[in-house]
Amino acid sequence: MQPGPPYQQGPQQPYPPQGYPGYPPPGYGPPPKKSNTGLIVGLVIGAVVVLGGGGVGAFLLLSGDSGPSSSAGAPTSSKKTGPPDKYSTMPACQKIGSGVRNLPPLEPPKGEEPASTSNNDITYTRSFCTWREPNAPSAMVGMYLSKSKEPGSGAGEGWAKASIENAVNDGGVLIPTMAKATKAVYAKLDSSSQCQIKFYQGNVEAEVVVTGPDPSGTVNQTVCKENALKVAKATSEAIGQ
């Protein structure tokens, strides 16, 4: 067998010359031109940040110069105010006794002395008067002077008033008018041999207790209250002079 024809390859085409149309020249050539788009975007963002920061700084600066905030309220005072003290002393027992007829003899009074309930608001003093003799009705007057430590605070009268309000709350009966008293009340007592009137007048509070001839017996409450009212009126008049 005769060998076949050799493998036929087509005719060799020559390599296109440099610069042939449609083909790039050999080698890599110059690098591609970089795009400026990213740089421009970065510059724009940076400018926005700088301008934004400057705007915030300017706002804070202007806010600091705008004066005090409107939310700050005006200062308030916690200082108490009220009626000024009307009295600085209490009357002598002899002056009170001169306003009531047929009182028993006056026991030697001790005069004005400190009371144990003085506090940061008031100076509290007291004075007692007692008219007594055996087998006869007796009368006792207790007066309490509240002096405000801070002038114009009203603490003195407020203290005196509170005592009488307590007597009303405890079941006392109001006396419509009584001499110069601001408010007066027949106070409730558990004793059947006594009766009591309490009143306040300005920054003075007072109590009047009348006891029957027999301290362990029973007294006519109508007569007892009439006698107590006479002594209470005389006390009020003496305080007001």
Read off the pLDDT of residues 45-85 as tens digits, 9 standing for 90 and up. Answer: 554 444 454 444 443 433 444 445 444 555 555 677 899 99
Domain assignment present for residue 198? The answer is yes
Domain assignment present for residue 150? The answer is yes
Question: Which one has a higher pLDDT value, 53 or 129?
Answer: 129
- Domain count for the chain, please give it: 1
Read off the pLDDT of residues 175-219 as tens digits, 9 standing for 90 and up. Answer: 999 999 999 999 999 999 999 999 999 999 999 999 999 999 999
Domain assignment present for residue 164? The answer is yes
CB 169 within 8 A of CB 142: no
The DSSP output letter for 97 is H
- CATH number of the domain enclosing 124: 3.40.1000
Percent of the chain at pLDDT > 90 equals: 62
Domain assignment present for residue 114? The answer is yes
Residue 115, domain extent: 93-240
Question: Which one has a higher pLDDT value, 26 or 224?
Answer: 224
Read off the pLDDT of residues 145-169 as tens digits, 9 standing for 90 and up. Answer: 999 999 999 999 999 999 999 999 9
Domain assignment present for residue 115? The answer is yes
In 77-142, alpha helices (H): 93-97
Domain assignment present for residue 215? The answer is yes
CB 107 within 8 A of CB 88: no
**pLDDT value at residue 187:** 97
Domain assignment present for residue 176? The answer is yes
Domain assignment present for residue 187? The answer is yes
pTM for this one? 0.67
| 153 vs 208: CA distance, rounded Å | 28
Q: What is the mean pLDDT of residues 112-140?
A: 92
Phi/psi of residue 87, nearest 5 degrees = -130, 150
